[in-house]
Amino acid sequence: MLAQSAESINYLAVFVAALSSFVIGGLWYSLLFGKAWMVENNFDEEDMKNGHMGKIFGGAFILSLIISIVLVLFLGPDRNGMIGASAGFTAGLFWVATAMGITYLFERKSTKLFFINAGYHVVTFTLMGFILGVWR
């Protein structure tokens, strides 16, 4: 991990980058792939209504903040938009998606579900990296 001081981290950018995962997720898992995602998970509308939304969304935001903090530390103080987006894309595709792929293979989950979920993370990490790179 690159050493950097707390002063080189824009904490508002960290927050916005974490929040961006919710914007992408809202579009990804509703308008773009919501129905297919529900089918692949064997969810119906009733399942969606019975979830503990505070726990799900609160936990997801905390995890997104952790991702954002670690990503900005990984990017280092000499970052820019291109470095951030490239590093985010690389982390999303070659670390997150491939790790998910291993799990999906052993859990025998569908390839379609893998591409929906892994694609979300690749796009999210890319945008988060861009935000953190540009907004220093």
Give me the residue label for tokens 């935001």. 61
CA 98 to CA 95: how far, in whole Å?
6
Which two structure tokens, joined as six digits, stand for 23? 């914007």
Residues 6+ apart with CB under 8 A from 44: 38
CA 79 to CA 97: how far, in whole Å?
24
Query: Helix, strand or coil for residue 110?
Result: coil
Q: What global pTM score does this model have?
A: 0.93
pLDDT of residue 50: 87
Reported as a single tens digit per residue, the pLDDT across 83-99 is 999 999 999 999 999 99
Reported as a single tens digit per residue, the pLDDT across 30-74 is 999 999 999 999 999 888 888 888 999 999 999 999 999 999 999
Q: In the predicted model, what is the mean pLDDT of the chain?
A: 94
Spatial contact of 47 and 111, defined as CB atoms under 8 Å apart: no
- Does residue 48 or residue 107 have the better pLDDT? 107
**How far is CA 95 from each of CA 38, 88, 91, 100, 121, rounded to the nearest angstrom?**
25, 10, 5, 8, 10
Sketch the domain layout of the chain as residue ranges: 8-134
